[in-house]
Amino acid sequence: MSKETIKTEELRLEGLHCADCAVTIEQTVAKLGGVEFVKANFTAGKVKIDYDPGQLGHDDLVRSVEKIGYKVSTETHKNLEKKQIWQEREFLFTLISGLLLGLGLGVQFFTTNQALFEFFGRSVTVSVFFYLTSMFFGAFYFSRQGWASIKNLRFNMNFLMSIAIIGAIIIEEYVEAASLAFLFSLAELLENYAVERARNSLRELMRLSPEEARIRRKNKEVALPVAEVRIGDVLLTRPGEKVALDGEVIAGASSVNQAPITGESVPVKKEVGDKVYAGSINVEGYLETRVTASSENSMLARIIHLVEDAENQKAPSERFVDRFAKIYTPAVIVLAVGVAVVPTLFFGALFNPWFIKALTLLVIACPCALVISTPVSVVSALTNASRNGILIKGGVYLEEMARVKVIALDKTGTLTKGCLKVADVVPLNGLPNDELLRLAASLEIRSEHPIGKAIVESAGDAKLDEVQDFESIPGQGVLGNLGGKKYRVGRPELFKNLTDELPIKQMQALQKNGKTTMLVGTESEIIGIIGLLDEVRQGAIKTISKLKKAGKEVVMLTGDNEETARAIANQLNISHFHAALLPEEKVEEIKRLQEKYGKVAMVGDGVNDAPALAAASVGIAMGAAGTDAALETADIALMADDLTKLPYLVDLSKRARGVIRQNIFAAILIKLSLAVGVFPGLVSLVIAVLIGDMGASLGVTANAMRLARTNPEE
């Protein structure tokens, strides 16, 4: 089958609220002929399927999912309404189950409870009839999922609960069976509600961009659904309105609140040529923008897509839970079988009491709360981070960030603003300042480096020579022919084979004031020095202080010279720095830090620092909203050029690790305590469901939701 024939489809599901449910869906759909790949994501409530449209279609996929008890939603995730719990059909069935259970108990204890009929030699009384109908409504949904689990040989909660109910019916413990069906149905309903609350924070992001856009076509203003707007259309945004689509300003000026994308609390000034993002708010002026991306490919849509993908990545603690569950569940099932059989066969004990204890162990055997303990914590943390302008690519990076001992930061563009300006022009052979700057700019006009751009900008309207045989040497500088003569602009390393007479004193005088120095010369002599100044970012000093208080070692890495690096490091109170590093040397330095300290995070621009970011335990790119490369290469992306988000990221990762550990410990402790309590008769079937399933699941979910309320200011 060729890749061209494969079709990919995503189904939004209602009722998907646990990891085991996701696995059951995957196994069921995978059995369909023509399915190449299937992945269910319970935290996002969706399943992604790659299939051959020649062998099956959309309706086949929907039927395969709905026959095991899940409903496929035709609405987009963005347009899903926030349903109240009592609006769900599952709530109605659970309510009926509870009422019938109550009627059965009332009839049994307060009436004569007459027999209605006999069934297979058993007398069916009025109360038993109520109990059986209560079981039907209570088990209506999870029994179908339990049957699918049986066919796939998965001992999950639906399967184990179904077996427990059937077992209780066999020994005529109808009250226990009906109670199990009702309470487990209630537990599933509440768990689904809790998981939906975790999803709502991501849905709020989806609802940030408007449904309609006002476009100018043929000199007329028309309102269109965003899906019908074409790239290149002119979007009109009035003061107070939300920007409907990504674009570039072609007319007007305004301040725009782009907090949904970058997390910046202060509106950003936008003028002609600047980018604007869907979901941001036009604060004051009138803007006309040329649409640069469709609604499906907007920066906000990409962030949401990356967050959903990140939710599907298993964190280290989640993998531990999976390994634990693979041992724990079969072990408790074997124990339950032993409890049902051994006392009666070998010690002459009554069968029914021990069989009830075995069924109780079956209920306790499924680690449902344990399995969801990590994913719901990760979802809450990731969506919180995305609302604050930080995109974390997965739970693995969230947990790795909590383990980081060292944070290495690039200097230019990270600790400093990256807006270099020429501060000094020092001729060494009598050449006029303007001429020296013009020659340097004539070479740098072909360069993409920030230093080169600063030199060209400083030259202003000067007439530049056309450069021939241009060459850029990474980490050193540029060279080329100007008017038949070879010139060079760059670091001292670019001149080391040409002359031993470097203007050391003049260079050091500039560098001690935090200036970056570039030499200008020919093949035979150095004709001048250009000093450039880059300001330290606002809030950088406070950020470094907070990182140190959080117990992180802070290291500065830079390709700049030793003296300039020292001046900036002193200004920021950074005691450890490494200067004059080429890109590959930054990678080596990251590896040395890892050998010495362990986990290391690298913070850079995501483009020039891509090798170092890839080598680090966690790569963090700044200003990712403006660069596709940063979004793709970084493990964590700070959407704005805002260094002050780093302490919040460190704090969030620590809190997330703490909550995950609390959830895992609590879930294991509850399960083991209940298992021990079964033998002396302290734990009944009802208590096992109330505490071991419903209580534990709601408890870990509520604890995880605290991460959604973590604020940068805290």
Name the residues annotated as catalytic. Answer: 410
421-427 and 526-533 beta bridge pairing: antiparallel
277 SS3 class? coil
State in Å, rounded, how far the first CA of the chain is from the last one. Answer: 54
Tokens 């790795």 -> residue: 400
Classify each residue of 421-434 as buried b or exposed e, where b means 16 or more C-beta atoms within 10 Å of its C-beta: ebbbbbbbeebeee
Confirm if 278 and 300 have CB atoms less than 8 A apart: yes
Confirm if 455 and 422 have CB atoms less than 8 A apart: yes
Confirm if 708 and 383 have CB atoms less than 8 A apart: yes
Q: How far apart are CA 565 and CA 609, in angstroms?
A: 17
- Element holding 222 (H helix, E strand): strand 220-225
HEC string of 379-422?
A: HHHHHHHHHCCEEECCHHHHHHHHHCCEEEEEHHHHHECCCCEE
- The closest of 71, 77, 63, 91 to 14, measured between CA atoms, is 71
CA atoms within 13 A on the CB side of 262: 25
Instruction: Supply the DSSP string of 112-145, one letter for each residue.
Output: ---EEEEETTEEEEHHHHHHHHHHHHHTHHHHHH
- The closest of 11, 181, 27, 14 to 89, measured between CA atoms, is 14
Q: How far apart are CA 462 and CA 343, in angstroms?
A: 98
Instruction: Tell me how far CA of residue 683 lies from CA of 185, 348, 676, 680, in angstroms.
Output: 20, 23, 9, 8
Instruction: Output the six-digit token pair for 404.
Output: 């980081």
Q: How far apart are CA 679 and CA 636, in angstroms?
A: 49
How long is the chain?
714
Confirm if 578 and 589 have CB atoms less than 8 A apart: yes
Residue 221: phi and psi, rounded to 5, are -90, 125
Q: How far apart are CA 583 and CA 586, in angstroms?
A: 5
Classify each residue of 338-359 as buried b or exposed e, where b means 16 or more C-beta atoms within 10 Å of its C-beta: ebbeebbeeeeeeeeebbbbbb
Instruction: Tell me how far CA of residue 539 lies from CA of 69, 203, 417, 476, 621, in angstroms.
Output: 53, 32, 11, 30, 18
534 SS3 class? coil
Instruction: Output the six-digit token pair for 35.
Output: 């399915």
Beta strands in 566-685 (DSSP E): 576-578, 600-604, 618-622, 636-638
348 SS3 class? coil
